[in-house]
Amino acid sequence: MNPQQPVSYNSSPSSGGKNLIIVVLLVILLIASLGFGGWAYSQMQSYKTDSDKKVAAAIAAQKQVLTKQAQDNFDKANTKQFVGSPTYGSVSFSYPKTWSAYVDTTSSSEPINAYFHPDQVPGLNSKTAYALRLELVSTDYAQIARQFSGSVKQGTVTAKAYLPPKLSGIANVQPGTLFSGQINSSDSTQRGTLLAIKVRDKTLEISTQSNDYLNDFNNVILPSLSFAP
């Protein structure tokens, strides 16, 4: 009986080389896949960030539009409009609907002389600090400004340049002066704010004679003030 010959398993060098190449290719493919996946993820995150920013900006813009619309609707529902004669510059502004007005236009030297106050306008001799006074006078603007110079020096009145927002950028409109403090020299108890501004050949004086109405003066009346130069 012939002894059984041992079986030999030999792998050729070419077969080992092929396996090595396959392994290397698989590693390269894996690295490429991981790199592509990382790139794709970063692009997706970048797109998401940009998209989120655009959505946030669109929402903010829409909120501004809605806020302005809501404010406009509120203003229309809660304010009245004063419009002066076109002959004297069509002075106009909004004021609270709960206020009443007394307007005198009979004087040529003072084409507008108006008083505004909540509910009813008190008598002219009542020494009331009116919620709003409006005067269009023939006195030169520089002369009116000089009338306050002494009070400004004493510190009882402060003064600063002011241009109503609606008149910004309009040709032939110069900033006026906003005086705050003891604006009524004949009554030391009255403290308010007055804007003096040139309107054509005249001067507009618009004021609140009491700080109780300063919020309406600053947030309703002055922002809506306009005239034709």
Q: Give the position of tokens 């008598």.
A: 123
**CA-based max dimension of the chain:** 149
Domain positions in the chain are: 18-77, 84-224
Question: What is the average per-residue pLDDT within 15-36?
Answer: 78
Q: Give the position of tokens 């002011």.
A: 162
User: What percent of the chain shows pLDDT beyond 70?
Assistant: 84
User: What pLDDT is attached to residue 6?
Assistant: 52
Fold annotation for 84-224? Protein Transport Mog1p; Chain A (3.40.1000)
Q: What is the pLDDT of residues 61-120, one digit of tens each?
A: 676 765 666 655 666 679 999 999 999 999 999 999 999 999 998 988 899 999 999 999
User: What pLDDT is attached to residue 9?
Assistant: 47
Q: Is 143 exposed, middle or buried (0-12, 13-18, 19+ CB in 10 A)?
A: exposed
pLDDT of residue 52 exceeding 90, the answer is no
Q: Give the position of tokens 């909004």.
A: 94
User: What pLDDT is attached to residue 62?
Assistant: 72
The structure tokens listed for 146 are 């000089």
- Give the 3-state secondary structure of residue 132: strand
Q: What DSSP state is assigned to residue 226?
A: B
The C-alpha torsion from 73 through 208 and 206 to 162, rounded to 10°, is: -80
